[in-house]
Amino acid sequence: MAIRKGALPATLVLALVGALMLVLRAEALAAPRLGEFLPKVTVTEIDPEADAFGAVEGEPAAATLNKGGKVVGYTFLNADVVDATGYSGKPINIVVGLDLQGRITGAKLVEHHEPIVLVGIAESKVVHFIDGYIGRNVLEADPSSAPVDIVSGATVSMMVIGDSITRAALKIARSRGIGTAAAPAPQAAPARRQVDRVLGPAVGWQALLAEGAVSHLRLTNREVNDAFARTGNAEAIAHPETGAADEVFIDLYATLVSIPTIGRSLLGDAGFATLQKRLKPGQEAILIAGNGPYSFRGSGYVRGGIFDRIEIIQGDGSLRFHDRDYKRIGSLAPTDAPDFPEIGVFLTPDGASLDAAAPWRLQLLVQRRTGAMDKAFVTVEADYTTPDKYLLAAPGASAATSAPAQPAPPAAVPAEAESGPPLWLRVWQGKIVEVSILVAAIGVLTAIFFFQDLLVKRPVLYDRIRLGYLAFTLLWLGWYEHAQLSVVNVFTFANALRGNFRWDYFLMDPLVFILWCSVAAALLFWARGAYCGWLCPFGALQELSNKLAKLVHVPQLRLPFGLSQRLWPIKYMIFLGLFGVSLGSLATAEKLAEIEPFKTAIILHFARDWWFVLLALALLAPGLFIERFYCRYMCPLGGALAIPARMRMFDWLRRYRECGSPCQRCGNECPVQAIHPEGHINPNECIQCLNCQVLYHHDQKCPVMIQRRIKREKRMAMAPPPLKPGPPPISKSLESVDSDD
């Protein structure tokens, strides 16, 4: 290892980066963002009857919609009013218009970071879904159904969109006194009741049902068919449920098992004791049990660990569950309880809150496939109110006269966000296993680089480790975890520095954040090769596919070095062009960034529109004949990483004086032709595959090592043979004989 002259001191670089992070982290994050998005929409998109926006004001924040100086409605940002966090862990921002009769006059998606929408589903489908809410009167509409079909593959995202539009509109209507949603006159808030946490004797299943401690929702095939018929969706109506009309579609039960007596009754003493160990202060646990052909867990639980069919709603807040919040239960403790095939206990997520003494409702999403890629859905609800016998009297009131528990106040959602840990931290806690695996993998790669001499002296072991690591990168990091870096990340970071920078935005995806941190550190030590050569899933796909091509004797092409050298700048030109576009329009740059086939090949496993698949295959195909063709000549991300990689401080790749003159072995065998004819390695093109270091130590391929081996063998051949051990010297034996005579 050699330290490069003129390289920036690592301590200075790290100090500058640390100072920048501290300055940027101090920025305020809580201001309403409606004013940021209003200049990006026209007033007629939000209300065709209006001619101007008013000032953003009030709580929750909204701006008036004016016509001829007269107020005709209000416009607001859904994420300013209610929780609009999507599947990505980031808010889905929609500017919505509401007239004075409670009718939604317009809605426009202005910002989102939903991965399935960014990389797989046409945004036009999402826009169509949002447009379905235009004209809906939120004061009169049936909340149990949405006006349009759900977009297949994006269930959670669509639920958030529809739910946040409706709830935010109702909250704005209530705060501005629109229609029947006018806020009541201010009055002293009643004292809130509390759950009795004293453990009482166990109660049977039927007794719990009779006293209302367990909520029940039962749907038959006829009721589900009728619900879809009310939507007027011809495709949904044309696909009715099979089976008898009175046959059970789902039989669903829900209750709070964090209430001691109910929990002991349903889980048993041992089960409730185990639950108490898991519960954190202020956390509640909901038991949901289901019977029938329709599962309340949903397909999202299998694919991504998220329960996309159930939601808990209380006041203006809602709770959705992830697999980390869930524990499967085999059976219920009461002897008179039914035998349920699905029973689960769900803990309220970290940072969220549920008032166990106040009413809440379980909302079930019922899906119906209407085509290969389309679904329709309706929602049904089961109300839950904790029976009085499990509640304590409110302060200042007797148990006999205490009023029923009141719903949570409308401000519950912001209060939840403030009282618990930040959302990005909850995301990291939920991905602790994945984070640990990636950190371990990066640690292994770091050890490979630091102790590379021990590895490259063993070519067979090196080949096996490299192939195994590339397989891990492609299969787990890429196809399973979808942790593929993109040039779009660079554009997003650069634009964030110019505007409202938020570190928590970048922390929302732990694996991508860790990868970028490792890339930043690796640039100082190994240039871009640490990522491009080992941690890039698409790079791994190219290399592995090329090795398969060689196994089936696909002819390999090697471009003249001069031509290859003139093709290198293409990736830099692509990056600089996209970067320039991103400074004017990030959305346009994201579309043009489809030159990267990462989304199609890695994120969506080629399950995309045919033209995207064709483009990805067209960019992969040359790699079967020219190893890592796309990496070498076209990858804008590689170009973006190569520019700051000029700061690298160390030269880890060892060379002989003879390299390049007269020996060309390493240059001829370099898989990406990163070695110049005169022998030096171009760090901007090197992928740190260590192939040249294997040759450096190979005494059958490297001329220098061959000469050393030959000299060593000659010395060994000319050396006298070692003396063999024999009997003791005969002189001593003779002396002893003479002395005896």
149-168 pLDDT tens trace? 555 444 556 777 887 898 89
- Lookup result for tokens 């009461």: 334
- So what's the pLDDT on residue 412? 35
513-561 confidence digits (pLDDT tens): 899 999 988 888 888 889 999 999 999 999 999 999 999 999 999 999 9
- So what's the pLDDT on residue 657? 85
Q: Is 239 exposed, middle or buried (0-12, 13-18, 19+ CB in 10 A)?
A: middle
- So what's the pLDDT on residue 414? 36
**Which of 304-308, 453-457, 463-467, 493-497 is predicted with the least confidence, judged by mean pLDDT?**
304-308
Task: Look at residues 633, 627, 630 and name the one whose alpha carbon lies nearest to residue 616.
Answer: 630
31-49 confidence digits (pLDDT tens): 688 988 998 899 999 999 9
Spatial distance between the Cα atoms of 697 and 699, rounded to a whole number of angstroms: 6
Angle (nearest 5°) at CA 256 between 252 and 262: 105
Spatial distance between the Cα atoms of 79 and 94, rounded to a whole number of angstroms: 7
How many alpha carbons fall within 13 Å on the CB side of residue 307? 25
Q: Are 5 and 75 in contact (CB under 8 A)?
A: no
In terms of pLDDT, which residue wins out, 122 or 13? Answer: 122
Residues in the chain: 741
Spatial distance between the Cα atoms of 414 and 422, rounded to a whole number of angstroms: 12
Q: Most confidently modeled of 265-279, 483-497, 716-730?
A: 265-279
Task: Look at residues 156, 199, 214, 198 and name the one whose alpha carbon lies nearest to residue 343.
Answer: 214
- So what's the pLDDT on residue 738? 45
Strands 310-314 and 215-220: unpaired
Report pTM.
0.53
CA distances from 734 to 270, 726, 727, 741 (A): 92, 17, 14, 11
E strand spans, 235-325: 248-256, 285-291, 310-314, 317-319
- So what's the pLDDT on residue 438? 95
**Which of 328-332, 416-420, 451-455, 727-731 is predicted with the least confidence, judged by mean pLDDT?**
416-420
In terms of pLDDT, which residue wins out, 326 or 727? Answer: 326
- So what's the pLDDT on residue 215? 95
- So what's the pLDDT on residue 111? 86
pLDDT at 664 over 50: yes
pLDDT at 25 over 70: no
pLDDT at 87 over 60: no
Q: Are 290 and 382 in contact (CB under 8 A)?
A: no
The first and second tokens of residue 730, run together, are: 């005969």
The total of other beta-carbon atoms located within 10 Å of residue 395's CB is: 10
State the average pLDDT for the chain: 81
Spatial distance between the Cα atoms of 166 and 82, rounded to a whole number of angstroms: 10
- So what's the pLDDT on residue 305? 59
Q: Are 705 and 698 in contact (CB under 8 A)?
A: yes
pLDDT at 317 over 90: no
pLDDT at 631 over 80: yes
% helix, strand, coil for the chain, step of 5:
45, 15, 40
Spatial distance between the Cα atoms of 637 and 599, rounded to a whole number of angstroms: 13
In terms of pLDDT, which residue wins out, 82 or 362? Answer: 362
- So what's the pLDDT on residue 411? 35
Q: Are 294 and 366 in contact (CB under 8 A)?
A: yes
Q: Most confidently modeled of 159-173, 176-190, 552-566?
A: 552-566
Task: Look at residues 250, 167, 236 and name the one whose alpha carbon lies nearest to residue 378.
Answer: 236
Confidence of residue 641 (pLDDT cuts 50, 70, 90): very high
- Lookup result for tokens 């080949």: 463
**Which of 19-28, 342-351, 492-501, 690-699 is predicted with the least confidence, judged by mean pLDDT?**
19-28
Mean pLDDT computed over 71-80: 93
Spatial distance between the Cα atoms of 709 and 702, rounded to a whole number of angstroms: 10
Spatial distance between the Cα atoms of 215 and 218, rounded to a whole number of angstroms: 10
- So what's the pLDDT on residue 404? 45
Q: Is 23 exposed, middle or buried (0-12, 13-18, 19+ CB in 10 A)?
A: exposed
Mean pLDDT computed over 409-434: 56
In terms of pLDDT, which residue wins out, 124 or 327? Answer: 327
**Which of 64-68, 137-141, 241-245 is predicted with the least confidence, judged by mean pLDDT?**
137-141
Order across the sheet with 70-77: list the strands.
52-57, 62-67, 70-77, 93-99, 104-111
- So what's the pLDDT on residue 390? 93
Return all residues near 529 (Cβ < 8 A) that are at least 6 apart: 683, 686, 687, 688, 689
Confidence of residue 730 (pLDDT cuts 50, 70, 90): low
E strand spans, 629-685: 650-651
Task: Look at residues 287, 277, 285 and name the one whose alpha carbon lies nearest to residue 332.
Answer: 287
Q: Are 337 and 283 in contact (CB under 8 A)?
A: no
- So what's the pLDDT on residue 322? 78
The first and second tokens of residue 629, run together, are: 């063709």
Q: Are 42 and 20 in contact (CB under 8 A)?
A: no
- So what's the pLDDT on residue 106? 94
Confidence of residue 299 (pLDDT cuts 50, 70, 90): low
The pair phi, psi for residue 359, each rounded to 5°, is -60, 150
Q: Are 521 and 445 in contact (CB under 8 A)?
A: no
Q: Please list the residues that pair with 194 across neighbouring strands.
A: 392
Mean pLDDT computed over 483-508: 74
- So what's the pLDDT on residue 371? 65
CA distances from 519 to 434, 536, 640 (A): 18, 11, 12
* Region of residue 299 (phi > 0: left; psi between -120 and 50: alpha; otherwise: beta): alpha
